Amino acid sequence: MTPESFDVLIVGAGLSGIDTAWHLERYAPGKRFVVLEARDRIGGTWDLFRYPGIRSDSDMLTMGYAFRPWTDANAIADGHLIRDYIEDTAHESGIEAKIRFRHRVVSLRWSSAESRFEVEALRRDAAGREESVRFHAGFVASCAGYYRYSAGYDPGFAGRERFRGTIVHPQHWPEGLETSGRRVIVIGSGATAVTLVPALAKSAAHVTMLQRTPTWIVSRPPQDAVANALRRILPESLAFRVSRWKNTILQQILYRFSQRRPEKMKRLLLDQARAHLGPGVDVEKHFRPDYAPWEQRLCLVPNGDLFRAIREGRASVETDTIETFTEKGIRLGSGRELEADLIVTATGLVLEQFGGAAVFVDGERVDFSKRLTYRGVMFEDVPNLVSVFGYINASWTLKADLVCRFLCRLLHRMDEREMSQATPRNRRGVKPVSPWIEGFTPGYVLRSIDEWPKQGASDPWRSHQSFFADWKALRFGALDDPELELSSPLRLARARVDSVAA
């Protein structure tokens, strides 16, 4: 069967995938595209994660789409509301009809001679059987996220098989799991753990957050008072734009302040924790990490819900190592034993590029660990592949929006010049000097960041964690870049044939 052909193929129907599809509809309406989604539903992360309390850890005024105002009173939103928001966007814009569900992309094979990708996907039927299907695409936009969906990180705890209770990982929370009246241990201290603990503490007998090391935590109200006030006096779209810019600027100020005045930021966060927790908790032991704020992402707790659960005795925190699981719970490095009926291993993610798909250029598999990133969007010597990858120090979608606009601008420029191939070329011989994500040290990143592309010492071989730098480069930066080769090998080959024939 002849593969279907598209101008652009989008991998993933989550937050970034629907964003990319909308931008193509709006700014490149002549382009024919398809969205391949491995799962059964729209939503990506917000459909996969269904553990109690799942919510955003950024405000939806900036994590939502720039083109679709977030109108709920709560800017920190529950997961199911975010998934509904993504799905409604796809449905109302007609994108839903262009999504092929249960299509897991396994390889992207670029042919310079044909100026296109051959994309192989495994299509799953209702019975779970898979068959290989192929597509042709001039461009691929990878919106598959950055972590493995099939399983989270398993540290391999000793004695796990001995535990007589239930063990679950938040990435695959069982539907209908009973937690009421049970003693629960949540292993971890990241965003998932600090979300789970107060949610479980509402009905559990007791919840213990067991952490090897603390995490920096900040409390803020779930509602944005300024945004809600503006909606009452301004047209909805204008109120949203003002609020989005306000929060974007505040995010950047907070991040820069944390970098330049880390000790001051530490004091502010610790003082806030003490004010919420009261005198009965050792804040220095349990809430003071040994790294600076934003070397790992700040964990957000709406209205201090985690602190409140601890202060009221419904939850507690232990900072220790795990020696082994036991029949009744967990024995700590200090020798103490914590008893539990349910253990939740909120131990992190496993990084994965392109949803696990292998990428080939003219028959040779690409080793991305040996390639530089181009503007944090494309890759050295890899044609027509864009990665829609968001920020780690701000709301994800702020960067995704900029990447989508860059893609549409690039497609227009290629059409104007009748070019079919855009390839970043390292003509100046810039050397790799830092990892894909620089100065960011959570365990899930450090475990596999060496497998990801590198950054050079100068633009355009940098991946900025700065909205304003990217806004300038991706929205308005010149596309006639000596480091971005635009070509049309297929047209050139045809011209040579015509010349010989003449």
On the 0-12 / 13-18 / 19+ scale of CB atoms within 10 A, 358 is: middle
Q: In this predicted structure, what is the pLDDT of residue 241?
A: 96
Task: Please report whether residue 137 resides in a domain.
Answer: yes
> pTM for the complete prediction?
0.94
Same domain assignment for residues 47 and 117? yes
**177 and 77 part of one domain:** no
Which residue type, as a one-letter code, is found at position 144? A
In a domain, 250, yes or no: no
Q: Which of 287, 316, 345 is the last residue of a domain?
A: 345
Whether 215 and 310 map to the same domain: the answer is yes
Domain co-membership, 379 together with 429: yes
99 and 43 inside one domain = yes
Under the banding of pLDDT at 50, 70 and 90, the label for residue 113 is very high
Report yes or no on 324 lying in a domain: yes
Contacts for 256 with CB less than 8 Å, ≥ 6 apart: none
95 assigned to some structural domain:
yes
Domain membership of residue 263 (yes or no) is: no
Distance CA 256, CA 54 (A): 28
As for how many domains the chain has, the answer is 2
Looking at the fold, whether 82 and 195 belong to one and the same domain comes out as: no
Q: How confident is the model at residue 500 (pLDDT cuts 50, 70, 90)?
A: very low
* Percentage, residues of the chain above pLDDT 90: 90
Instruction: Provide the token pair at 369.
Output: 């660990």
- With a CB cutoff of 8 Å and minimum separation 6, the contacts of 71 are 231, 236, 240
Is residue 105 assigned to a domain?
Answer: yes
- Buried b / exposed e over 48-80, threshold 16 CB at 10 Å, is bbbbbbbbbbbbbbbbbbbebbbebebbbbbbe
The answer to whether residue 247 is domain-embedded is no
End residue of a domain, out of 318, 345, 372 = 345
Q: Are residues 284 and 371 in the same domain?
A: no
- Looking at 289, 312, 345, the residue that finishes a domain is 345
Would 271 be classed as within a structural domain?
A: no
What is the distance between the alpha carbons of residues 192 and 185, in angstroms, rounded to a whole number? 13
Residue 210, CB-side half-sphere exposure with 13 Å CA sphere? 28
**How much is the CA Rg of the chain, to the nearest whole Å?**
24
Residue 260 has pLDDT above 80, yes or no: yes
| 339 and 360 fall within a common domain | no
Q: The tokens 């250029």 sit on which residue?
A: 361
Q: Which two tokens stand for residue 243?
A: 């609020």
Q: Which two tokens stand for residue 204?
A: 């559990």
- Name every residue whose Cβ is closer than 8 Å to that of residue 85 and which is 6 or more positions away in sequence: 60, 64, 68, 70, 77
Please check whether residues 438 and 360 belong to one and the same domain.
yes
CATH for 325 = 3.50.50.60
40 against 491, higher pLDDT: 40
Token pair for 396: 């994800």
Range of the domain at 19: 4-149+350-493
- Tell me: the pLDDT tens digits for 21-40? 999 999 999 999 999 999 99
Same domain, 363 and 315: no
pLDDT above 90 (res 501): no
Question: Does 290 share its domain with 187?
Answer: yes
- Whether residues 341 and 194 share a domain: the answer is yes
Say whether pLDDT at 67 is over 60. yes
Using alpha carbons, select from 319, 317, 323 the residue that is nearest to residue 335.
Answer: 323
pLDDT tens digit sequence for 356-373: 999 999 999 999 999 999
Q: Which residues pair with 319 in a beta bridge?
A: 211
